[in-house]
Amino acid sequence: MTVRTRFAPSPTGLLHIGGARTALFSWLHARHHGGEFVLRIEDTDRERSTAESVAVILEGMAWLGLEYDEGPIFQTQRFDRYHEVLSQLLSEGKAYRCYCSKERLTVLRAEQMARGDKPRYDGHCRHVRRPPSATTPSVIRFLNPNEGTVVVPDLVRGAVEFRNDELDDLVLARTDGTPTYNLTVVVDDLDMAITHVIRGDDHLNNTPRQINIFQALGSAPPSYAHVPMIMGSDGQRLSKRHGAVSVLQYRQEGYLPEALLNYLVRLGWSHGDQEVFSLDEMVDFFDVRDVNRAASTFDPDKLQWLNHQYIKNVDPAHIARHLSWQMGRLNIDPAAGAALIEVVMVQRERSKTLREMAQNSVFFYEDFDDYDAAAAKKHLKPGIIGPLTRIREDLQAVSQWAASSIHEVIVDNAEAGGLKLGQLAQPLRVAVCGRAASPPIDTTLELLGRERALARIDRAIEYLRHQKSHP
């Protein structure tokens, strides 16, 4: 049987870290087994589902590169099928109409809580068996077995047992006739021939109910793997309403999708001491059964470290494409200066994110307005006018505008002026970059281009003269 997994988000918010990891695990499981991965949008909650959320989820999946073999399938387009199953269950006596008012249920729940019981439906309408009424609204409830136990054979947790009398008769269809989650998942997982359901362990408690529904439908449930939640730094679960940010925000912040994926795969899963995994390695090594049972905490520092690893080691041309996107966000025209790939080469060691790389490379493409105040104060002092003027002449005269020859000029000038390398390099750096930190000054000058470099030195000299005359 072909392994088939699915990722089934509800479009009621963003695609966050937790969802992305569930999607990744499902995707990896399918790929590892040469199976198929399905994307299903669980949009039966008409109140909260939005087209924007759908778009964001699809974009997030695409950015991460989690390609699906089928989908997106929308549950709202399968209502006919759900109704068919509903009437089947109804006619077989495995579901029934419930006419209880919301008020009655609220009171019931309050009483049960007060008594120290688990709130659950009391089966009041179980044996009423009235046809739908035009005047009294009704829902359809599943007739859950009230004896025995249900065992959830879970790939990460082992067998988890629930007593049927802990489970109540859940609502399968709302007053307005629309089906609810617990019915639609079952029908869909069945119809879509899903073999492995990998999802957050917040669903573990729903699983015995779903298994009972599978049974009522005369079918075997799929295999389950409930993966632990991801917590925020405050120890609280990461969720749409708590500390979760869209995966797309990581793109904006300059993270590589492969770095995020790598970070995510190591959250709750490991392969010995290995930290960095190519996509192929993930597919090869991943096994849901190796997923941890304990929840883990999201650590932005480690994500950043991994991102830096990728920036440093991945093909510069690939990084350059992502850098180009970041440059675009800063309204920088990459054609206005050094080739992006060259910039990547000199900046990758000192850039943990692509956004940082872009921000620190703006001066290659655009003149800056002001010098960094602290840098100017420290390095642009009147005494440096002479050395800057002399090196400017030598730089203008150098035959080959290349880092090596530029380097020689700097060394020679420092020596001739009785300056330590840093005493000349730093003022020069501030002059051409506007700040005290940059890639090595010789390559920086090379990438800047002679014309631009000389112009900026001129500007610095002018600035210094002005400072001198107007202290």
Partner RNA sequence: GUCCCCAUCGUCUAGCCGGCCUAGGACACCGCCCUUUCAAGGCGGCAACACGGGUUCGAAUCCCGUUGGGGACGCCA
Binders of RNA among 71-110, rule CB under 7 A? 100-102, 105, 109
| Phi, psi (deg, nearest 5) at residue 237 | -55, 140
Considering only residues 176 to 235 of the shown chain, the ones binding RNA according to CB under 7 A are: 176, 180-182, 201-206, 228-229, 231, 235
Among 196, 429, 452, 456, binds RNA (CB under 7 A): 429
Shortest spacing between CB 354 and RNA, in angstroms:
14
Shortest spacing between CB 374 and RNA, in angstroms:
11
| Interaction of residue 356 with RNA, rule CB under 7 A | no
From the list 249, 252, 248, 247, the residue with the least C-alpha distance to 264 is: 247
| Interaction of residue 438 with RNA, rule CB under 7 A | yes
Considering only residues 374 to 403 of the shown chain, the ones binding RNA according to CB under 7 A are: none
Among 45, 253, 281, 342, binds RNA (CB under 7 A): 45
Shortest spacing between CB 92 and RNA, in angstroms:
21
Q: How far apart are CA 125 and CA 129, in angstroms?
A: 7
| Interaction of residue 44 with RNA, rule CB under 7 A | yes
Output 139 or 256, the one with its CB closest to RNA: 139
Contact between 181 and 142 (Cβ < 8 Å): no
Shortest spacing between CB 234 and RNA, in angstroms:
8
From the list 148, 171, 146, the residue with the least C-alpha distance to 95 is: 171
| Interaction of residue 361 with RNA, rule CB under 7 A | no
Shortest spacing between CB 151 and RNA, in angstroms:
10
Q: How far apart are CA 197 and CA 379, in angstroms?
A: 62
- Binding to RNA by CB under 7 A, coded x per residue (else -) over 168-187, reads --xx--xxx---xxx-----
| Interaction of residue 124 with RNA, rule CB under 7 A | no
| Interaction of residue 452 with RNA, rule CB under 7 A | no
Tokens of 185: 């998942």
Tokens of 4: 């088939």
Active site residue 240: yes
Among 37, 224, 269, 277, binds RNA (CB under 7 A): 269
| Interaction of residue 148 with RNA, rule CB under 7 A | no
From the list 257, 255, 358, 330, the residue with the least C-alpha distance to 300 is: 255
Output 204 or 314, the one with its CB closest to RNA: 204
Size of the site for RNA (CB under 7 A): 88
From the list 40, 341, 323, 397, the residue with the least C-alpha distance to 184 is: 40
| Interaction of residue 246 with RNA, rule CB under 7 A | no
| Interaction of residue 405 with RNA, rule CB under 7 A | no
Shortest spacing between CB 231 and RNA, in angstroms:
6
Catalytic, out of 94, 102, 118, 240: 240
Shortest spacing between CB 351 and RNA, in angstroms:
7
Output 36 or 42, the one with its CB closest to RNA: 42
Output 159 or 397, the one with its CB closest to RNA: 159
What's the CA angle centered on 178, arms 176 and 183, to 5 degrees?
140
Q: Which stretch binds RNA (CB under 7 A): 64-72, 245-253, 334-342, 425-433?
A: 425-433
| Interaction of residue 302 with RNA, rule CB under 7 A | yes
Q: Which residues are part of the catalytic machinery?
A: 240
